[in-house]
Structure 1
Amino acid sequence: MKMKMMLVDDEERFLSTTQKLLSKKGYDVLTATSGGEALEKLRTGNVHVVILDVKMPGMDGIAALREIKRQFPTIEVIMLTGHATVESAIDGLKTGATDYLMKPTDIDEIIEKAEEAFMKRQNLEEKIRVARMRKIVKSPREIINEMDKT
């Protein structure tokens, strides 16, 4: 499965430059300039990892993170933060972010963190699949017990 990323930042130049660099490296990248736009796009696209800026007008990164985790609990979110907003990164981690990146960040660091988050999500999805299978497939003991009752 190929990772699909979303970058959420109100700085258009950062978005377009980063999207171009990630696309050149073969990544599928959506962008959004606000938390609201990100939530809209998440409803239609199967995104695995969101890289979310903390400081945005309107719905800030922490509010957007809360909403993403509420509506799409398996999406991994990496907070993008400046030096002045390190406290927000800590709040983000408490609220369910996987990790955070300090601005300015380079493309390799974004890729490394996104790949780690994607692996975490795949492991989680595998655990969910196994748990569902266990619920469907009964253990030999359960089958024997049911046979004894009839």
Structure 2
Amino acid sequence: MGTNRILIIDDEEIIRKETAEYLTLRGHSVSAAASADEAFVMIGASKPDIIMLDLRMPGVDGLTLLTKIKEQFPDIEVIMVTGHGDTRSVIDAVRGGAVDFCLKPSNAKEIEQALDRAARAHELTKRLKAAEERCALLEKELHDLKKQNR
């Protein structure tokens, strides 16, 4: 579904490198971060459309990081990735705003499907935001016209 700006946040270097290589070959613009601090710097700099976020990292848990990302950057879609999948984590991630959840090691098809869903969600969010802005502008124009006709 087109080219996306993707940020991979994972403490495992091999996972970051292999995933970044694969996504780059698929035509995406990819950056990677090994920690939460590095991730927030990169989010500000690269403005990703989609983040692939490891659930378990040293220092900060992925669900906590997910919450912070969605609070500060609600338009970014997040795919949670973990080698330790359990039902509770999946439920918590989705409730926290994740658009999808992949288990490590992920196969190419699983990654592509998750990215397609995230890209569609990102596009729909952009369209909704644009429609809301147009609606607000039309409401203002209508209000101004009513004022003039009084």
CA contact (8 A) 1:81 1:88 kept: no
SS of 1:136's equivalent in the other structure is helix
C-alpha contact (below 8 Å) 2:90/2:101 kept by paired residues: yes
Q: 1:122 aligns to what?
A: 123
Aligned length: 149
Give the conservation status (yes or no) of the 8 Å contact 1:4–1:49.
Answer: yes
* Aligned residue runs from structure 1 range 1-150, under 5 A: 2-138=3-139, 142=143, 145-149=146-150
In 2, the alpha carbon distance for the partners of 1:17 and 1:31 equals 11
Deviation at 1:25, TM superposition (A): 1.6
**Larger-Rg structure:** 1
| More displaced stretch, 135-144 vs 119-128 | 135-144
Runs of 4+ in 1 over 6 A off after TM superposition: none
Tell me how far 1:115 sits from its aligned partner: 1.9
Cα gap change, 1:91 to 1:140, in 2 (>3 Å): closer
Contact kept in structure 1, 2:3 and 2:27, CA below 8 Å: no
Q: C-alpha distance in 2, partners of 1:84/1:130?
A: 37
Matched-pair contact (CA < 8 Å) for 1:18–1:107: no
Deviations 1:10-54 (A, max 9, x none): 110111111111111211111111122111100111200001010
Q: How far has the Cα of 1:127 moved from its partner? A: 1.1
Counting aligned pairs with the same residue, the percent is 30
Counterpart residue identity of residue 54, structure 2: D
* Aligned residue type for 1:22: L
Which segments of 5 or more consecutive residues in structure 2 lack a partner in the other structure? none
SS at match of 1:6: strand
Secondary structure of 2:149's counterpart equals helix
